Amino acid sequence: MVQTVKNTLRKAKLDNVDPNLAMLCLRITPVNDKVKSPMELLMGRKAKSNLPIVLRNEHDDRDSVNDAMREQQYRQKFYYNNRSVKELPTLCSSQRVRVQDHVTGQWMPVKLVEKCSDRSYIVETPNGGRICRNRKYISVLPTVLNLLVIENLIRQKDSWMRQNSYYTSFMYIIACLCMLKIYQNRHPDISARAHSSFLLMAFVIFIAVIGVVYRSSSFWIVFALVDMLCTVLLSIQIYYNGRWKLDIHIFKKMWWFIKSDIMHCARPMYMDRLILLYVGIIINWALAIFGAVKQPADFASFLLTIFISNLLLYSFFYIVMKIRSKEKIPHLTKMCIVFSMVTWGSALFFFFSHLTSWQLSAAQSRVGNKNCLMLDFFDAHDIWHFLSAISLFFSFLILLTLDDDLYYTRRDKIPVF
């Protein structure tokens, strides 16, 4: 309503029309077919204007008018909440967050103390002061490293579980969380919610179980088609910076995009981003076709290969776009990249020794036992676990320090890609 009044006054000024007359025309305009104009609702009668109308006063039931106005407000609220706004997730006490300074616009790390209202929280600044801020000025710092602590505790408690499938499920979750962490760096307002993210991870684990137990030619074909379709949809989501909503109308939007943009525009708007996404689509489609043709025996490891490949591709995409935007890579991040490459290379050397297999029984696995390589106690598989833990540590440091050069940069000055 405020925007409507501003536009009306602006048009009246441009056309040299009396603003009072313009506001009169706005006041006598009915709200809809059930609710009369604001002036008629206030005065109980029609008002004279420059429009040739018949002044025929009608007395309506006040309750029916209130019901109609309440229905109109509810309809506006429904469409606004479903299209324009997004409810931010609730925060917990002692959670690591950042708060935006209203004066400088910079984000500083703070400690969440308590919740004081539905959308406000009390945070403690580094100098010990406590301030109250609205939820939209608070950004969550992801705590991916906490997942390793939980994994270690559950490993010790549930050692009877099959190790390979158990660890592979955790690697799915870690890969997904790392990709969400990278995406959240530039898109804190459109990141996926926690319940939807973990629901997707649970669905991925369910697909992994189905693939291990009931793998067949039809399953591989369906999986390849779904994987190729999801790759295209996620690429569109990344290319348009979240402006495309993945819903039931996505195929209709894709058709209108092909009809309006591809057939009429010779050059895309984001050429570098498009080239990197094309490379990702080609690699994912090649993996899907390879799985449908060769049908590997270990579906869980093949699915993990897809996730790790996409994580590496998206990390490479992010670093390239960061350099293209003339941003600096911190020296600590460069050191972590080098160390992680060395440790991952060494860890994968021991991993591909194929000393263990969850598909074999305990008696059959003993045939593959080898001599201990370290301290006469740890074999190659143990060394793989040690090196992979160190590699994960450096990999998480890369994610946590990659944007340290933007620590004092205003949010509206950070490029989005």
Residue 358: pLDDT over 60: no
Give a yes or no: residue 393 inside a domain: no
231 and 252, same domain (yes or no): yes
- Structure token pair of residue 144: 């991916």
Average pLDDT, the chain: 76
Phi and psi at 49, nearest 5°, equal -150, -170
Predicted local confidence at residue 108, as pLDDT? 79
Contact yes or no for 18/6 (Cβ under 8 A): no
Mean per-residue pLDDT for 25-30? 81
CATH number of the domain that residue 116 is part of:
2.30.30
Residue 400: pLDDT over 80: yes
164 and 303, same domain (yes or no): yes
State the DSSP code for 59. -
Predicted local confidence at residue 160, as pLDDT? 36
Give a yes or no: residue 355 inside a domain: no
Predicted local confidence at residue 296, as pLDDT? 84
Q: Is 98 helix (H, G, I), strand (E, B) or coil?
A: strand
DSSP symbols for 365-404 = HGGG-----BTTTB-HHHHHHHHHHHHHHHHHHHHHHTTG
- Structure token pair of residue 253: 């939007």
154 and 247, same domain (yes or no): yes
Residue with tokens 């949809």: 233
Predicted local confidence at residue 162, as pLDDT? 46
Residue 155: pLDDT over 80: no
Residue with tokens 């860890």: 347
Between the alpha carbon of residue 397 and those of residues 143, 145, 202, 411, the distances in Å are: 11, 9, 26, 22
180 and 251, same domain (yes or no): yes
Residue 191: pLDDT over 80: no
Give a yes or no: residue 387 inside a domain: no
Q: Quick one: pLDDT band at residue 192, thresholds 50, 70, 90?
A: low
Q: Is 107 helix (H, G, I), strand (E, B) or coil?
A: strand
Mean per-residue pLDDT for 346-363? 68
Predicted local confidence at residue 156, as pLDDT? 47
Q: Which of 79, 88, 126, 87 is nearest to 106 (CA)?
A: 126
Residue 207: pLDDT over 60: yes
134 and 154, same domain (yes or no): no
State the pTM of this model. Answer: 0.55
197 and 228, same domain (yes or no): yes
Residues in the chain: 417
167 and 267, same domain (yes or no): yes
61 and 100, same domain (yes or no): no
132 and 277, same domain (yes or no): no
Predicted local confidence at residue 260, as pLDDT? 59
Residues in Cβ contact with 350 at an 8 Å cutoff, skipping those fewer than 6 apart: 380, 381, 383, 384, 387
64 and 43, same domain (yes or no): yes
Q: What's the pLDDT tens digit per position in 317-333?
A: 888 888 888 888 888 88
**Structural domain harbouring 286:** 146-329+402-413
- Structure token pair of residue 111: 């400690």
Predicted local confidence at residue 335, as pLDDT? 92
When divided into structural domains, the chain yields a total of: 3
